[in-house]
Amino acid sequence: MFESRLGELAALGTAFCWTITALSFEAAGRRVGSLAVNLLRLVIGFCGIAIWNAVARGQPLPAGFPLDAWLWLAASGVIGFALGDLFLFRAFVMIGSRISMLVMASVPPLTALIGWTVLAEGLTPLHLLGMGLTVGGICVVVLERPARSRNESPETPEARPRRPIAGILLAFGGALGQAVGLVLGKIGLADRDPFAATQIRILAGTFGFVVLFTALDRWQRVGAALRNGPAMRLITLGATFGPFLGVSLSLLAVQHTETGIASTIMSIVPVLIIPPAVLLFRERVTAREVLGAVVAVAGVAVMFR
């Protein structure tokens, strides 16, 4: 039973991992900035996977991958980590991890659209219905004005601004990067070890950030982050459940089950993240926001029935 459902269980584990990592990186990003968090979590994640591979396979570094697999996985890492996560982590700081991860529920529809336009994969009416539900659920939330905080003076709803459009667009950029990265990653993975494949993706993503930090002359931010104890603990926690466990489990999921099924299960993060967001960050969640999250996840499920 366990082996027959390995892909589904790995996808469920991915959803829990991404819930933890989103909350951790939001808190760390507010302390030291999203750029530093991005680079440091990749370095920590790479070291964690290297230790795992040394114990499990006797080989700390990826081996046995042909050149074409390296190229596909490297492209997946640059697009998924260096670009997609750059946008997503900035969105964490601007609109919070809960709303950002809700926007990330658009990854499966985006993946389906990419398959339709690039790979000539078919789209059925059920696919279109699921896409509509997912987009509709996201819109229900992102177009609502945030609830007034306890310390905010009373005012009319029209006076309160909607969520920053730049933050929403950044989150959508992160979703697009993850969708493209997942497709490219599956092509390069084939039947090879998912943890070693993740190392290749992390290496490529790290290289992308090194180029970016050098071009922008932002290395001093990395030094400041390294000296910030609370931020480093949060980054380490997020890296353990993100680039190490979460990403590797996501590749294990698509390796042992259909990409659509894995994407559906992994998309429940917007629902899973609501209770900890309320308890840890004291966010005020409205019934409309809960409904929007549930509708968005239901739309993903409809797509891959």
Residue 289: the pLDDT is: 82
Q: Are 45 and 242 within 8 A, CB to CB?
A: yes
**Residues 121-152 pLDDT 10s:** 667 787 778 778 887 888 877 777 665 544 44
**Residues 270-304 pLDDT 10s:** 888 888 888 887 778 888 888 888 888 888 778 76
Domain boundaries, the chain: 6-147+162-303
Q: How far apart are the first and last CA of the chain?
A: 21
3-state helix, strand, coil in the chain (%, to 5): 80, 0, 20
Residue 121: the pLDDT is: 62
Residue 158: the pLDDT is: 44
Residue 243: the pLDDT is: 77
**Residues 114-123 pLDDT 10s:** 767 766 666 7
Q: Give the residue ranges of the chain where pLDDT is below 50.
A: 149-161
pTM: 0.77
Rounded distance, CA 199 to CA 206, Å? Answer: 10
Residue 75: the pLDDT is: 94
Residue 160: the pLDDT is: 45
